[in-house]
Amino acid sequence: MGKATRASFGEAIVELGAQYKNIVVIDADLGKSVKSEKFMAEYPKRYFQCGIAEANMISTAAGLALSGPIQHQKLSSLLNLQLLLHNPAYV
């Protein structure tokens, strides 16, 4: 059996962070389960924890996008699905 997808994600986002200095991670209290805490350990100034305030996280991502950084938001899959179904602009 191979590595869990979330473990691979945690490793990949750290590698991308090393390669691209303008990548940030915005988290909604899922860092432990999706392994984005690895990014936080390596690049604490590029890791933003928004807690369970997903709407605020999207607003933060929009503001960061306007200022230049490439962001990755980690939302619950249910919220991701809702955003995709109701607003294709998030795709």
Burial code (b: 16+ CB inside 10 Å, e: under 16) for 23-59 equals bbbbbbebbeebbbbbbbeebeebbbebeeebeebbe
The residue from 11, 37, 42, 54 that is catalytic is: 54
15 as an active site residue: the answer is: no
Residue numbers annotated as active site? 54
